[in-house]
Structure 1
Amino acid sequence: MSAAAKKLDVQVARHRDMLVGGRLTRGRGADLTVVSPATGSPVATFPGASLDQFRQAIADARRAFDGGLWAGLRPHERVSVLQRFVSALEARADELEALIVAETGCPAGSVVLEAQVRSPLRQMRGMLDLYLKLPELEENPLPLEERVVGQGLVQSLRRYVPVGVVAGIAAYNFPLNIGLWKIMPALATGNCAILRPSPLTPLSALALAEAALEAQLPPGVLSILAETGAEGALLLTTDPAVDMVAFTGSTDVGKKVMAQAAPTMKRLQLELGGKSAQIFLPDRVEAAAHAALGVCMAHAGQGCVLGTRIFVPQADKPKVMEAMKASLAALRAGDPHDPSTTMSPVISQAQLERCARYVELAVAAGAKIVAGGRRIDRPGFYFAPTILDVPDNSNPAAQDEIFGPVICVIGYRDVDHAVQMANDSAFGLSGYVYGKDVRQALAVAGRIRSGTVNVNTGFASAYASSGGRKQSGIGRERGVEGVRIYQDLQCLNLAS
């Protein structure tokens, strides 16, 4: 065994325990096996949390919140603790990256790894800074005649208070990033939080526990539990003691979360599926040459905001697809620790089969394979970067989220046709418009029904929110809205 492998074994062994009640404790549920998508072999097997441990975490969080242990602190006092938490994570950044590489297969030398660990840690500091700038109290804009009642004066205020107990249920593709964007705004605003990571990628989330203890978060304020099934997740979405669920995952599971949370009317923040469009206007069509490469390099297309539907002028479509195909030669699948590896595997055998199935469905509906379309013959779950020449937007590969390195190229007659097809989707998470005439590109962007539209760029910031329309979810993450969603609004009317 190499020195690097031995070091990883030590790191994995340190992060198998659950954080419950302010203590690290071994899971008491069924064994959870983490498989490396890069090799198909187990990375770790350890006991997951039991349902009773989830119940205990909920009870601890409820007690901590109701007792004012955390919510009763001033904002700057909570932020001071959370800054220590971020510092403890920054000190462990190399270790967190190693765990991410092991459980997701993300290449150690890729820019995607930056988005997995170091970028979200920087964003956490930005989020805390943003939170401290938001007022706890705001005055309602009463007209003058309503401010006077008899001989007295009335003041009407908006007060922002924590929701209560927040359950964060994270997806597998960016496990640390997604988990932090659930628990950190929740904690900053005074809530108590329970994080349940994906069973496919729990290691980096469990590693948060050690840093939380170092930062001295009070007992019960944060719990982290991993499980092999979904019993704990079901409890988090149904238990009356949980006030809010923040979930990232597929639209199908998001609908179940909504249904499970409905009887107790929990607050919801859902970031769900996407089938985002990239529209290349005629004056910028040459930029489409690297669109497929960008999607496939971005964690093998496993990103809900990725633009997997690429719209170009019909007349330019053949040359664009040839240029796209040539660009894919830069991708190399292989050992994620090899600096020359540039492409991730998909997460599992099931996801590999999903990619293959959608290529078959696409071809049956009239698409042609320009590149890829098959599994790569090597260990692990690698699917070849795939370009599909799709005749129209009704093709299954253009309508459904595949979550792999499979992109559709669709020709449009004119800009109105491009916008119509971009909006012909059950999803509305993100979108992209490219054009040299920025005024025209902005006009096109304004017609796209998505929660975020990027013009000539891709962008993510702690200060700018994102979120979905239609079946891509409800609520926002990041930005002012991503902080305020973890707060309830109380109206205070005072007479003097």
Structure 2
Amino acid sequence: MSNTIAIDGIEVSTDHFINGERVPSAERFEDRSPIDGHLIGHIAAGLPEHCDAAIEAARAAFPAWAALGPEKRREHLHRFAAELKAWGDKLARVECEDNGMLFARLKGHQIERCAHNIAFFADEAMKLVDHTIEGRNAKHRLQFDPAGVCVLITPWNSPMMLTTWKLGPALAAGNTVIVKPPEWAPLTCSMLADVAAAAGLPPGVINVVQGIGATTGATLVADPRIARVSFTGSVPTAKSIAQSTGRNLVPASFELGGKSAFVVLDDADLDLAASTAALQYRNAGQVCLAGTRLLVDGRVADDFVARMKKVVASLNVGDPRQPSTEIGPIIHPRQFDKVAGFVDRARESGATILWGGAKHEAGDLYYQPTLVTDVGESDEVVQNEIFGPVLVLQTFDGDAEAVRLANSTRFGLAGVVFGSEQRAVDVARQVRTGMVWVNSFFLRDLEAPFGGVGDSGIGREGGQWSFEFFCDIKDVMLPQKPYAPVFAGR
């Protein structure tokens, strides 16, 4: 069996990447394209010996990588970022085939963001040097020491971008890493190791062990030699990881998706709100930040729905490789069945499907953009993350009810509020969530904190918050005035 596959003439290894070399496995798993379901290849599955080898390679590389210091690591990481851009077309083509994301979006946005993730944190790490606090009694020199070997586990909805989002701060802080790619879309995560090697990163600094989360991932996170675990994915998996890391007192960061509210007040710009609401179908709704619960003031609900329907009707669902496509496929048959099941059960329980609600003619894994209404607050379609092109509409009477509905799920990752600016800000401040966009959506700066509350996760990523996780922070104190030891009573 060949250990490489070809996608659009691009050769991609299906083996692990450990200590600068490709390592095969006797066990493999299937990887199929969501575009049309064809078999891409058989991917090496990580066995305990592969996990052990990757951990030992990362441990061996750690002292030298940590000793380089932020400035030398910055040089390495800027070369890595430049190499990423050079590989951009290859990475975009492979991710499109493997994951189903729009090729136009990958080329036009994702590659640039991936490179920026690496370069930004390389620069941001320089701010950690000579960080001091002038206290009343002492001068505090804060030292950000790299933690050690970090396991980075990324999801299938945006594997390449989210891997670089973790790699950037972990490597800039001086850690070495083991990436566990998602089994439904592993290829570009693995290719990132080739990119790093081409940029000259030392062997062992980045390792990739592919495999199923319940076996390979579980083995990695349970190992006491690991210093940090950063996970993006589902709540049940996070709870399992937390049990494993808790036994070893290993810090873990979790970003777990959400069921975010998209609030439309009665004084909102309805055209802007409606067109932005249609954006929630982007990436076939497989976006953790999406405002999937449309909460609309009852006085403008009919008008809002009519405007949004026009936008949705114009959306082109189809092959993500085509430049005219705006919504591609759902990643996997199991995910498709999950999405369809939510809609079918909602319909059976009396909900109204305003549009969509069925498989799209584009193919087996394509689902129509769907809007569900006439639902109860406790209905599963309102309370649970669907992660597909399905939105739910509820109406409210007054801002207080809007806030109550927005806060009525166990999730709290993001939110959106449309209305006159000050009023929208007042509502946004009351929503229990990690971040809220006012009269906008999906605007992000890497300096800002990213993360949720409740079942949406633990911890924050971005800017200095990332380094607080990936570093052990030491306080070296010097007295502000001549010091003499004094015993009580003397």
TM-score by length of 1: 0.91
Equivalent of residue 367 in structure 1, options 351, 355, 366: 351
3-state secondary structure, aligned to 1:491: strand
Q: Is the 8 A contact 1:22 1:218 kept in 2?
A: yes
Q: Residue 409 and residue 77 in structure 1: after superposition, are their counterparts in 2 closer, same or farther (change >3 A)?
A: same
Partner of 1:452: 435
Instruction: Describe the superposition over 1:311-335 as per-residue Cα deviations: whole angstroms up to 9, x where unpaired.
Output: 1111322332232222212222222
Counterpart of 2:135 in structure 1 is 142
The one-letter code sitting in structure 2 at the alignment partner of 1:121 is: A
Alignment correspondent of 1:347: 331
1:52 pairs with one of 49, 53, 60: 49
| Equivalence for 1:442 | 425
Match of 1:337 in 2: 321
Aligned length: 474
The reply on whether 1:38 has 2:35 as its aligned counterpart is: yes
Cα distance in 2 for residues equivalent to 1:115 and 1:465: 21
Contact persistence 2:84–2:111 (CA under 8 A): no
Give the percent of matched residue pairs that are identical in Structure 1 and Structure 2: 31
* Separation in 1, partners of 2:380, 2:212: 31
Cα distance change, pair 483–114 in 1 and its aligned pair in 2 (3 A): farther
Residue 362 of structure 1 deviates from its aligned partner by 2.2
Q: What letter matches 2:46 in structure 1? A: A
Mapped partners of 2:446, 2:415: distance in 1? 19
The correspondence for 2:17, drawn from 19, 23, 27, is: 19
The 5-angstrom pairing of residues 209-228 of structure 1 reads 209-228=193-212
In structure 2, distance between residues paired with 1:46 and 1:364: 40
> Using the alignment, how far apart are the partners of 1:396 and 1:365 within structure 2?
11
Residue 100 of structure 1 corresponds to: 95
Q: Residue 86 of structure 1: CA displacement?
A: 1.1
- Kindly indicate whether the alpha-carbon contact (under 8 Å) linking 1:307 and 1:431 is maintained by their aligned counterparts in 2: yes
Determine whether 1:233 maps to 2:232.
no
What CA distance in whole angstroms lies between the structure 2 residues aligned with 1:228 and 1:465?
Answer: 30
Contact 2:31–2:184 at 8 Å: present in 1 too?
yes
Counterpart in the other structure of 2:386: 402
Contact 2:292 2:391 in 1 (8 A): yes
CA contact (8 A) 1:247 1:270 kept: yes
**For 1:210-237, what per-residue CA distance to the aligned partner results, in whole angstroms no more than 9, with x for missing partners?**
1111222222221012114532211121
Q: Tell me, yes or no, if the aligned pair for 1:352 and 1:375 is still in contact at 8 Å.
A: no
CA change 1:112–1:300 in 2 (3 A) is farther
List gaps (5 residues or longer) in structure 2.
Answer: 484-490
Structure 2 counterparts to residues 65-144 of structure 1, below 5 A? 65=62, 68-109=63-104, 111=105, 114-139=108-133, 141-143=134-136
Aligned to 2:274: 289
CA separation of 1:360 and 1:70: change in aligned 2, threshold 3 A: same
Q: Structure 1: any 5+ residue segments left out of the alignment?
A: 1-5, 148-154
Indicate yes or no: 2:419 matched with 1:422.
Answer: no
Cα-to-partner distance string for 1:13-33 (whole Å, 9 max, x where unaligned)? 4332321012223x2142122
User: Match of 1:196?
Assistant: 180
Structure-2-length-normalised TM-score: 0.92
- CA distance 1:431–1:248, change in 2 (3 Å): same
Q: 2:469 and 2:376 mapped to 1: Cα distance? A: 38
Q: Does the 8 Å CA contact 1:276/1:431 hold for their aligned counterparts?
A: yes
Aligned residues: CA RMSD: 1.9
Runs of 4+ in 1 over 4 A off after TM superposition: none
1:365 Cα shift? 4.0
Task: Tell me the distance in 2 between the aligned counterparts of 1:179 and 1:384.
Answer: 29
Q: Which AA in structure 2 matches 1:37?
A: P
Letter in 1 for 2:194: E
CA distance 1:276–1:406, shift in 2 (3 Å) = same
What CA deviation, in whole Å up to 9, does each residue of 1:370-418 have, x standing for no partner?
Answer: 0011111343411110011134432211110000000011100111000
Q: Deviations over 1:430-454 (max 9, x none)?
A: 011111x211111111111111111
